[in-house]
Amino acid sequence: MIGNILKKFDEKFLKTEPRTGDLYAVSALFDTPDQIIHAAEEVSDAGYKKFDVLTPYPIHGMDGAMGLKDTRIGWVAMLGGISGVSLAFLMIWWMVGVNYTNVFGGKPFFNLPPSIPIMFELTVLIASLTLVGALIVIFNKLPLNANPLMDTAFMKSVTSDKFGIYIEAKDTKFNRDEVRALFEKLGSAEVSDIHYPEYDLGKTKNPLLDMKFMGNVAGVAVVTALITYFALNVLIFLPPFSWMHYQPRVNAQTESKFFKDGFSMRKPVEGTVARGFIPYEFKGMPDSLITITPNPVPVTQKVLELGKKRYDTYCSPCHGNYGKGDSRLRGQFPAPPTLHSQKVMNWKDANIYHVITNGQNVMPSYEKSISRDDRWAIIHYVRVLQRSANAPDSDFETK
């Protein structure tokens, strides 16, 4: 039954087109890759220019055997890539640096490192689309979609198990008898003439105006969309393909039928801490109850640089770059008091650490955002800012 259907399909759609007497090319078939490589070398050395090789799969070294020059496809891809990265750069710069400026953790408006992945993705996307469009329109010369090689025994052979080469009659050195003799000398299994077909040149040269052709294109697009929709929205949810979607796990904020209280999100066992973690014993307590302890992190150039980096990221948006309470958020958040007040300057390091860890008033806790040692490093840098704004005479060098 299937054989009969395929036979009727071949009879209806794979009919051999009538051919004219005008010669298009002389073709030859070979049985092995070595033979076709040797044939391409001989044809190229003989001075022929308008010839091509067709094989059922890529053959390494064929470019050199045919004497092909470097293709311009790489330049097209590079042009598309440069356009993509430039477009992404300008897009991100305009969005976050000009049109909608927001401060995120003290970072610059336009921050290059986190923008690189987006720039890379857009580079690949634009380069790929440009390359595909150039291949279809420029290199393959569409909308011209007809070629005398189509619907020939030569084309059917080279797309299955044979290796073929042909020389066009338009070549300046072309002589039918000489070309046939060359192919036979090279050991071709079959040498044949290919003539131009009899087709409607008007429709062939302008297939975009042919409703039947455009209807087929639209039909293929619709069928592809339906198959894709079915595969991505139906098939993957059916057994056995659904094993990745339905897993023995629970989603956050969902009901659990395993635990009696119905909660899927469980609290850690009371009193347990992570390995190597030192919990803050005064968490949640008022400042008056803490035990004053010295800063365990030594004052070094490296620690001060780390403290400055963390301060600029987490503290400067509200406290200002120099701790004066001049917020950089442009009124988007209440400005805190200055860090140069007598109260803060008289505080011990443990007091400042307590505020960073617990939060105070509208200031949230930074315990989960800043590591323990980094909090102590920030305090060292705050002391540097305080000393720089209130330096005693002894800090000034005298000559």
pLDDT (tens digit per residue) in 135-149: 888 877 776 667 888
Mean pLDDT confidence for 337-342: 88
pLDDT for 201: 56
Angle between helices 301-310 and 372-389 (to 10 degrees): 90
Q: Is 162 exposed, middle or buried (0-12, 13-18, 19+ CB in 10 A)?
A: buried
Q: What is the DSSP string of 263-320?
A: BSS-PPPTT---TT----TTTT--GGGPPP----S---HHHHHHHHHHIIIIIHHHH-
Structure tokens at 71: 């293709």
Higher pLDDT, 43 or 2: 43
Mean pLDDT confidence for 194-216: 72
pLDDT for 140: 76
Strongest mean pLDDT among 11-25, 73-87, 136-150: 73-87
Q: How far apart are CA 88 and CA 105, in angstroms?
A: 23
Higher pLDDT, 319 or 290: 319
CA separation (Å) from 312 to 62, 133, 226, 366?
Answer: 60, 47, 53, 14
pLDDT for 11: 62
Q: Assess whether pLDDT exceeds 60 at residue 399.
A: no
CA 328 to chain centre: 34
Q: What is the CATH number of domain 287-391?
A: 1.10.760.10
Q: Assess whether pLDDT exceeds 80 at residue 8.
A: no
Mean pLDDT confidence for 148-157: 88
Residue type, 216: N
CB 35 within 8 A of CB 149: no
Q: How far apart are CA 310 and CA 322, in angstroms?
A: 13
Q: Which stretch of 161-170, 212-221, 316-325, 327-336 has the lowest confidence by average pLDDT? A: 327-336
Mean pLDDT confidence for 338-366: 89
Whose tokens are 């380069």? That residue is 127
Mean pLDDT confidence for 115-124: 93
Mean pLDDT confidence for 2-14: 66
pLDDT digits (tens, 9 = 90+) for 300-317: 999 999 999 999 988 888
Query: pLDDT > 90: what percent of the chain?
Result: 39
Q: Assess whether pLDDT exceeds 90 at residue 35.
A: yes
Q: How far apart are CA 390 and CA 123, in angstroms?
A: 52
Mean pLDDT confidence for 284-306: 86
pLDDT for 368: 86
Q: How far apart are CA 27 and CA 165, in angstroms?
A: 6
Phi and psi, residue 276, nearest 5°: 80, 0
pLDDT for 17: 66
Residue type, 129: L
Q: How far apart are CA 226 and CA 221, in angstroms?
A: 9
